[in-house]
A and B are shown apart, each in its own frame.
Chain A
Amino acid sequence: MKPRVPYKMLSRPTPPFKLTKENAVLLLMDAQHFTTSRDQGLGLVAAERGITREFDEYYAQVDAAMRNMPRLLAACRRHGLRVMYTVLNAQQPDRSDLLRQLKVSGLPIPVGSPSADIRPEVAPATEDLVLPRGTYSPFAGTDLLSVLREAQADTIVLAGMLANVSVAPTAREAADRDFGVVWVWDASASETLEWHEHTKTGIVGPLIRIRTTQQVIEMLEGVRS
Chain B
Amino acid sequence: MKIIRTVRGDIASQALGVTATHEHLYCDQRLCRSGLDFPGSYPKMVMRDPDRVVAELADFYAAGGRAIAEMTVHGWGRDVAVLKEISERSGVQVVATSGFYVEDCHPEFVADASIAELEEVLVQEITLGADGTDIRTGLLKSGISRPIIEGPEEKCARAVARAQVRTGVAITTHTSASARFEVEGGNVGMQHLNIFESEGVDPTRVIIGHTDENADIRQLIALAQHGTYVQFDVIGKTHWLLDETRIDLLRQLVDKGYAEHLMLSSDRCREVELKVKGGPGYDHVLHDFVPRLREAGFDEALIHRFLVENPARALAFEPHDNP
Q: Which residues of A contact B (CB under 8 A)?
A: 1-4, 8-9, 11-13, 16, 57, 60-61, 64-65, 67-68, 185-186, 193-194, 196-197, 200, 204, 209-210, 212, 214, 223-225
**With A13-B181, A209-B182 already in contact, 13 other A-B pairs whose C-beta atoms are closer than 8 Å:** A3-B239, A8-B181, A9-B214, A11-B181, A13-B182, A13-B183, A61-B39, A186-B38, A193-B40, A194-B41, A197-B41, A212-B36, A225-B150
Could you tell me if A9 and B186 are in contact, using CB atoms closer than 8 angstroms?
yes
Cα–Cα, bound, A8→B215 (Å) = 11
Distance to closest chain A CB from B284 (angstroms): 16
Cα–Cα, bound, A185→B40 (Å) = 12
Q: List 25 A-B contacts (CB under 8 A).
A: A2-B239, A3-B239, A4-B238, A4-B239, A4-B240, A8-B181, A9-B181, A9-B186, A11-B181, A13-B182, A16-B148, A16-B182, A61-B39, A64-B38, A186-B38, A193-B39, A193-B40, A197-B42, A204-B181, A212-B36, A214-B36, A223-B151, A224-B146, A225-B147, A225-B148
Cα–Cα, bound, A57→B240 (Å) = 26
Could you tell me if B37 and A68 are in contact, using CB atoms closer than 8 angstroms?
yes
Could you tell me if A16 and B147 are in contact, using CB atoms closer than 8 angstroms?
yes
**In the complex, B35 has a CB within 8 A of chain A:** yes
Most buried by A among B178, B184, B215, B239: B178
Name A197's closest neighbour in chain B (CB-CB): B41
**What chain A residues lie within 8 Å of B37 (beta carbons)?**
64, 67-68, 186
Which size class do B's interface residues fall under? 20 to 34
Name B216's closest neighbour in chain A (CB-CB): A9
A-B contact count (CB 8 A): 62
Cα–Cα, bound, A148→B184 (Å) = 30
Given known pairs A4-B238, A12-B184, A212-B36, the reply for A224 and B151 (CB within 8 Å) is: yes
Question: Which one of A8, A65, A210 contacts B178 once the chains associate, using CB atoms below 8 Å?
Answer: A210
Most buried by B among A2, A9, A65: A9
Q: Which residues of B contact A (CB under 8 A)?
A: 35-42, 146-148, 150-151, 178, 181-184, 186, 214-216, 238-240, 242
Name B41's closest neighbour in chain A (CB-CB): A193
Cα–Cα, bound, A16→B182 (Å) = 8
Distance to closest chain B CB from A200 (angstroms): 8
Could you tell me if B151 and A13 are in contact, using CB atoms closer than 8 angstroms?
no
Cα–Cα, bound, A115→B182 (Å) = 39
**What chain B residues lie within 8 Å of A204 (beta carbons)?**
181
Cα–Cα, bound, A60→B178 (Å) = 23
Name A210's closest neighbour in chain B (CB-CB): B178
Name B237's closest neighbour in chain A (CB-CB): A2
Cα–Cα, bound, A61→B39 (Å) = 6
**What chain B residues lie within 8 Å of A185 (beta carbons)?**
38
Most buried by A among B42, B178, B181: B181
Could you tell me if A196 and B146 are in contact, using CB atoms closer than 8 angstroms?
no
**What chain B residues lie within 8 Å of A1 (beta carbons)?**
239
Could you tell me if B36 and A186 are in contact, using CB atoms closer than 8 angstroms?
yes
**What chain A residues lie within 8 Å of B35 (beta carbons)?**
214
Cα–Cα, bound, A64→B38 (Å) = 5
Could you tell me if A64 and B182 are in contact, using CB atoms closer than 8 angstroms?
no
Could you tell me if B38 and A68 are in contact, using CB atoms closer than 8 angstroms?
yes
Cα–Cα, bound, A224→B239 (Å) = 28
Cα–Cα, bound, A225→B216 (Å) = 23
